[in-house]
A and B are shown apart, each in its own frame.
Chain A
Amino acid sequence: MLKARLPAETPELPSVTPVWPGAELQEDEIWDLYGIKFDGHPFLRRILMWDGFNGHPMRKDWKEAFFEEEGKPFSSRWPEGHHAWAEDRVPWHGNVNYPDHFDPETWKEPVTFEAVQDEPGGNGNGRLHTQRIVVNMGPHHPSTHGVFRMVATLEGETIISLKPVMGYLHRNHEKIGERNTFIMNIPYTDRLDYLSSMSNNLGYVLAVEKLMGIKPPERAEYIRVIMAELTRVCSHLWSIGFLLNDLGAYFTPALYTIRERELILDLFEEASGARMLCNYMRFGGVTRDLPTGWLEKCNTVVFDRLPRAIDELERYLTNNEIILARCKGVGYLSAEDLVRYSVSGPMLRASGLQYDIRKVEPYSIYDRFDFEVPKFDGCDVYDRYRVRMFEVRQAVKIVQQALKQIPEGEIQTGKKAYQVRVPAGEAYARIEAPKGELGFYIVSDGKPNPYRYRVRAPSFINLNALEPMCIGYKIADSVIVLGAIDIVLGETDR
């Protein structure tokens, strides 16, 4: 861990993008939320907020419009029996306050473009007189899996450049997380990558447990692994189904995968009470034990149902002519470049690099299970699909082993508490979430609220590689390249 300390007045730092181009989006984010300038950054812009937003919201002295108190739990809104109106607290009253030198009339967004421009050379391919056209995809476009925007410059149909624009779903998760108590953040992590809430829970509780210096009991460890791997199955199946949607096979293959996911969501519902936003893990354990009969149901799904379902999917999809034609060789980016762009997860493993945090830095009890890390080296959309398929099989294999080994016993270390004591210090924990490396960086000052709560969101950072993966391909390919990155906007925008 490297740290650079900067003064309060005009904080500036040289950008590390020449060393690791993958720092681009994260440095944008720091500029946006903290107001720290990066010299030498290729395109420093407000990435999550818009330019008309006054201030840098992650600074501790920035207060939101309805600010009540520094940390929860808030005191009563009925002091001495009288209701205090939240509106009376709005510091801005009019609620519209632009930064200096900002005029909404003349403002142009940072990703600006001329809709049509003459190509500098004047003729494309040496034969035709061409013009460059800018095509804007999104924010409301079914291919973007949410509110995400791609601004692509085209020559003919070929992509010359492509800029991702995001932040439409931004709610400043990290600021709200600093206001919450430690335990209040567990359900809040569900809302990051809402398709894999169990993994998000796991990453967060591991980071806080690192600080607290506690470990969950055996049974809870096994339950966590089972839940995290079932989540991986869900997330990958969903991603495969929607990749097929992007390819034009509208919802028929997706429903085959969603059908299997439903069975797993049933299991989640029975154990945690919720299908998607599970809020299941706790510091030092899980919130409650598995209900009677759960393990038998899980056995049926994992031993009988899923392996056959995966076989069926593979039979229909893996050698499908249309998939081969559309996915093979598309979105190529070599392993070296992927590492430089800080890409993680299935995309990295589809480039021949067997980098899986469960293997290289085993957390929880992953060192006890026998599973393989896929090795495909096509670096293209097709291999990203195959890696996901492979990982679904391996995840099922891990759950099968865990179900055989799971012991009886306690599910919580110590007593359950509404308020936990987290000693001062800082910790970074990372897990191999379905989308890639999910990290939580927590700074505690010993108070009930985290001083800093940072989410290293794989969906956000993997987008660094979107432009280099799209350049030179057709505009129609950008849709499946994005689909194969597998982003969830709840996590991208936070």
Chain B
Amino acid sequence: MSNTEATITVEVPARWQDAVPGAVLSEDANSVVVAPESLVALCTYLRDHEGYDYLSNVTGVDYLNFKGRDASNRFEVVYHLYSTRGAVALLC
């Protein structure tokens, strides 16, 4: 990852882990990698308790033959969450 201003390393608050244990797999540049099986639980928590009530964008990316990727994590689904009660984007 480059060091442009768009890239901010994310730190997930510990209360997320407490609320939905095991949901957050890793904290990446600009994003949080989520375990697929806990996705709905984490989303529900974020909507109800963290104020992220607005799902702006959902999209897929195919990382075929991409640096650092293999067949076990070829596809990625990306969710952009916001809050309509403020500007907060999900930690970035």
- Contact surface of A with B, Cβ cutoff 8 Å: 1-9, 11-16, 18-20, 22-23, 26-27, 30, 33-34, 36, 58-61, 210-213, 339-340, 342, 344, 348, 353, 355, 360-361, 423-428, 430, 437, 439, 441, 443, 445, 451-452, 454, 456
Q: Quick check: A18 and B40 within 8 Å, CB to CB? A: yes
Q: Quick check: B84 and A355 within 8 Å, CB to CB? A: yes
What 0/1 readout, one digit per residue, does chain B (36-73) give for beta carbons within 8 Å of chain A? 11011011100100000111111111101111000111
Q: How far is the CB of A343 from chain B (nearest CB, A)?
A: 9
Q: Quick check: A428 and B77 within 8 Å, CB to CB? A: no
Complex interface: chain A residues within 8 A of B75 (CB): 5-8, 11, 34, 36
Q: How far is the CB of B62 from chain A (nearest CB, A)?
A: 5
- Residue from B28, B43, B55, B64 within 8 A of A59 (CB atoms): B64
Q: How far is the CB of B71 from chain A (nearest CB, A)?
A: 4
Complex interface: chain B residues within 8 A of A4 (CB): 33-36, 39, 76-77, 79
Complex interface: chain A residues within 8 A of B33 (CB): 3-5
Q: Quick check: B2 and A3 within 8 Å, CB to CB? A: no
- Bound CA–CA A30/B62 (angstroms): 11
Q: Quick check: A7 and B1 within 8 Å, CB to CB? A: no
Q: Quick check: B55 and A8 within 8 Å, CB to CB? A: no
- Bound CA–CA A34/B30 (angstroms): 23
Q: Does B13 contact A (CB under 8 A)?
A: no
Q: Quick check: A427 and B6 within 8 Å, CB to CB? A: yes
Count how many chain B residues have C-beta atoms less than 8 Å from C-beta atoms of the other chain.
54
Q: How far is the CB of B37 from chain A (nearest CB, A)?
A: 7
Besides A353-B84, A425-B29, 13 more A-B contacts (Cβ < 8 Å) are A1-B79, A2-B32, A2-B81, A3-B28, A3-B76, A4-B35, A14-B37, A16-B39, A19-B44, A23-B58, A339-B84, A425-B6, A441-B57
Closest to A21 in B: B55
Q: Quick check: B87 and A361 within 8 Å, CB to CB? A: yes
Complex interface: chain A residues within 8 A of B64 (CB): 8, 59-61
Q: How far is the CB of B89 from chain A (nearest CB, A)?
A: 8
Q: How far is the CB of A88 from chain B (nearest CB, A)?
A: 26
Q: Does B17 contact A (CB under 8 A)?
A: no
- Bound CA–CA A353/B92 (angstroms): 23
Complex interface: chain B residues within 8 A of A361 (CB): 87, 89
- Bound CA–CA A8/B53 (angstroms): 31
Q: Does B7 contact A (CB under 8 A)?
A: yes
- Bound CA–CA A456/B60 (angstroms): 12
Task: Tell whether A7 pairs with B56 under 8 Å between CB atoms, given A2-B90, A16-B79.
Answer: no
Q: Quick check: B73 and A26 within 8 Å, CB to CB? A: no
Q: Quick check: B4 and A8 within 8 Å, CB to CB? A: no
**In the complex, which of the residues B33, B60, B87 has the most CB atoms of chain A within 10 Å of its own CB atom?**
B60
- Bound CA–CA A360/B56 (angstroms): 14
Complex interface: chain A residues within 8 A of B76 (CB): 3-6
Complex interface: chain A residues within 8 A of B65 (CB): 60
- Bound CA–CA A319/B68 (angstroms): 62
Could you pull out 6 A-B pairs where Cβ atoms are within 8 angstroms?
A2-B39, A4-B76, A30-B59, A30-B60, A213-B5, A427-B6
